A and B are shown apart, each in its own frame.
Chain A
Amino acid sequence: MSVSELSPVRKSILPTGDDTWATIARRELADRPEDKAVSDLQSWNLHVFMRAPAPETSPRAGNQVLPSDVIFVEPPLSDA
């Protein structure tokens, strides 16, 4: 079986180290307004959006996205 023969699954990306909601929105959902794209991403990725914030003293304060996260760039397939 080749990659192309795999069943379709919910599309996701693995972020780069500096990615934020906004950078992912601009790159992956370029066809929609950024605010809307960020909002959509957050609603599809509650495992990241609902995470406790990093402490104010952390270099990552304000950015919920971790470099190791899986970020879905579409809704669950059954809802699509």
Chain B
Amino acid sequence: MYDLIIRQGNVVDGSGLPAYTADIAVKDNRIARIGRIAESATREIDAEGKIVAPGFIDPHTHFDAQLLWDGCAKPALSHGVTTIVPGNCSLSLAPLKPDHRMRLVGMFNQIEEMPYKAFREGVVWDWETFAEYITRIRKGLAINVAPLVGHSVIRLWVMNDAATERTATDEELAEMQDVLRECLDAGAAGLSTSYVDMDETLQPVPSRYADAREVEALAEVLGEYGRMLQIVPEFYDPDLTIARLDQLAELSIKYSIPTTFSPLFVNSDNVDAVDKVMDRVDEQFARGARVWPQVQTRPIDISFSFAVPSLLFIRIPGWYRVMRFGTHEDIMNTFSDAGKREALIEEAKVYNDLWPILVLRQVKTEANQKYVGKTLGEIAKMRDTTPVEAMIDLSLEEGLDAHFLAASMGHNNDDKVVSLLKHPRVHIGASDGGAHILSFSTYGDTGYLLAHFVRDLKTMRLEDAVKKVTSDTASIWGIPERGLLQPGYIADIAIFDPETIDRGVEKFVQDVPGDGSRYVRDSHGVDTVIVGGGIAWSAKEGYQEARGAVLPGEKGSQPELVAAE
């Protein structure tokens, strides 16, 4: 008697091999058998006409905070994602001294656009060490979590205020190494660092005050465990990206560690720049380095209102300054003051091509509903004004609660993007799940991959696409016993309809602690998601069992890690 049998599904097992029809039996938390199964089970799922695949693994998320109030990482789990990697970009929520909490919240607010109020009202700060944080999130965990520890956070822990003032002493380096060992022993999947991010005062985050010697000292510790080093390079410049990937390659070879950098975008103004980066990646792999670029599947869409700072405006300082540092009243006054308004309009001319194509996506007043769905160019004509002035006026009329969409801002050349996604050395990721919650929805990237590139454009085989987000990811990260449908493997499984799977429609919901809102996408075409042998979510019954695990887990309970060579 099995616990669960999935009947007659089209099995895409994550290996890249052709699909085949079979039953899959689950006993406890593992796949017990694949084939024609005559026995019965406590629970059975009819998967005829559906794809049965390993659960998807999302290697670049920021669910660190959300996991404290939502062990499902909603709605990621419902999209078929069974494992997430939080703690990217030098930021994790542990280890963390009480004195540093608000400083770290400021960084999450600035970099990942996560609201202060959610931290104030959704987080009970009852941990300091990484082990304590893991214990905290383990309660009610329905999705697997492979958490990174952030370099900036380790630096703050060891150096306090000096973390943003200077390089580390030898003693501090040794202490950072010990702290990293403690985190890895407690279950951290690796270390993240950043070379671009700024805190809420627009000063560099702590990791950027580290010299190469410090990064090497930490990589040495990662080498003791064979764990991942993730970085955010200066992704806006291919020469800088190449310099960083060369730096990573040296560390990868010297300490035999996997490394990954994210994001790698297709730049609309220079679509061939990624080829230059990928040529270097190929050369470094040929040397024996593991330097995995992470590429997202979706084009870049950014939504914003002037009620919260948006990174869309970071290159026009006059606008960004008032959004970042101004109160609601300050922003309203700035938009109303003739002189200040004129200065903003003048500064905005650098993006004159952008403003007319922005779409008004949401307002609260009845009077302006007629403009929703129209571009600022269209609205400007209707109101006999310019697009920028229309944006300002609508924001004033709506008390800053007018929401605009900058759609398909980049990474939207399908031919180039798919050539990257198919590249054997490209790691599909960079979803940013759980972050930028008022700028765009970070969910449904796997649905977009399977709908847009596999089904609609027919530019990828289904089996290859599934492999890229399952067994490839598990191998790259050294996540054992997951990513494949094989007897003996942990039963993390996504069942979906290949004809209907998609990323879902982006919508604005209010489900963040502190009455906060965010953009999400409900899953579309996903039937059932199984984590650790239990049904974690189904389209019919919603969220159910919570069998998520922390991967690779604390020292002593970890299976042998085998990272991809």
Contact = CB atoms under 8 A, between A and B. Distances in A.
Interface of A: 1-3, 5-7, 9-10, 12, 14-17, 47, 52, 54-55, 58-60, 66-70, 72, 76
A30 B193 CA distance: 33
Contact of B167 (A9, A17, A47): A17
Contacts of B201: 55
B166 interface: yes
B243 to A, nearest CB: 4
B292 to A, nearest CB: 18
B131 to A, nearest CB: 28
Binding site of B, secondary structure by majority: helix, strand, loop or mixed?
Answer: helix
Contacts of B242: 9-10
Contact of B165 (A2, A52, A60): A60
A40 B269 CA distance: 26
B382 interface: no
Contact of B239 (A5, A6, A68, A72): A72
B283 A7 contact: yes
Contact of B211 (A17, A55, A70): A17
A7 B279 contact: yes
Contacts of A59: 165-166
B470 interface: no
23 contacts: A5-B283, A6-B284, A9-B242, A10-B243, A14-B211, A14-B212, A14-B247, A15-B211, A52-B203, A55-B203, A58-B165, A58-B203, A59-B165, A59-B166, A60-B165, A66-B208, A67-B209, A67-B210, A68-B195, A68-B209, A69-B195, A70-B234, A70-B243
Nearest to A77: B239
B210 A68 contact: yes
Contacts of B167: 16-17, 67
A1 to B, nearest CB: 4
A60 B242 CA distance: 27
A12 B243 contact: yes
B328 interface: no
Nearest to A60: B165
Given A9-B243, A70-B195, 7 more contacts: A9-B246, A10-B242, A16-B167, A17-B167, A58-B164, A67-B167, A72-B243
B204 interface: yes
Nearest to A15: B211
B207 interface: yes
A3 B203 contact: no
Nearest to A53: B203
B361 interface: no
B251 to A, nearest CB: 12
Contact of A1 (B203, B204, B247, B283): B283
Which A-B residue pairs are the 3 nearest by beta carbons? Answer: A17-B167, A67-B211, A1-B286
A7 B242 CA distance: 11
Contacts of B204: 66, 68
Contacts of A60: 165-166
Nearest to B198: A52
B280 interface: yes
A6 B283 contact: yes
B208 A68 contact: yes
A66 B239 contact: no
Given A7-B279, A14-B247, A70 B166 contact: no
B17 interface: no
B166 A17 contact: yes
B388 to A, nearest CB: 24
Interface in B181-239: 195, 201-204, 207-212, 215, 234, 237, 239
Interface in B267-306: 279-280, 283-284, 286-287
Interface string B286-330: 110000000000000000000000000000000000000000000
Nearest to B288: A1
A72 B201 CA distance: 27
Contact of A68 (B166, B207, B280, B284): B207
Contacts of B283: 1, 5-7
Contacts of A3: 287
A54 B195 CA distance: 16
Contacts of B240: 47, 70
A47 B212 contact: no
Nearest to A45: B240
B244 interface: yes
A9 B280 contact: yes
Contact of B244 (A5, A52, A58, A70): A70
A50 to B, nearest CB: 11
B239 A10 contact: yes
Interface in B165-185: 165-167
B239 A9 contact: yes
